[in-house]
A = this chain, B = another copy of it.
Amino acid sequence: MVPNDNDIKQLVHEWAQAIRDGNMDGILARHTSDIVVFDVPMPLQNIGLDAYRKTWELFFRYSPRGEGSFELIDLKILSGDYVAFCYALLQIGGREPECRLTLGLQKINDKWYIVHEHHSAPFAIPEEK
């Protein structure tokens, strides 16, 4: 594991902790102003920090906070010099993992920032007759 992996691991775990705490300043602390977010619910995409904040306001309307409310499972990080991405399964609301997360990161002025988030849940396939 190279040093950038450790920096990103810490950033991502602090972000997840801020979500479990319902701490909006912490959630938004390491995102760029032009972040592009693909979230579980509609719309197709959310562009910019204000839109990103609203995705969490919606999340907190339906989901509890605290331990188990937003846990990363099998977090895998790949980092280069100035670009990195990571992905994990997501355990939400204490249930079995049923969502997936991919984050895209960029190093700007020697600090890592999240510039892209993709959250989703898979659809059930209709049974064939």
Residues of A at under 8 Å CB distance from B? 36, 38-45, 58, 76, 78-85, 87, 89, 97-98, 100, 102, 104, 106, 115-116, 118, 120-125
Copies in the assembly, this chain: 2
Question: Residue among A45, A87, A123, A125 with the most chain B CB within 10 A?
Answer: A87
A84–B81 Cα distance when bound, in Å, is 10
**Contact in complex: B116, A87 (CB < 8 Å):** yes
Q: Could you list 10 examples of A-B contacts with CB < 8 Å?
A: A44-B89, A44-B122, A45-B89, A58-B125, A76-B116, A80-B81, A80-B84, A85-B104, A87-B116, A121-B123
Find the B residue at minimum CB distance from A100. B38
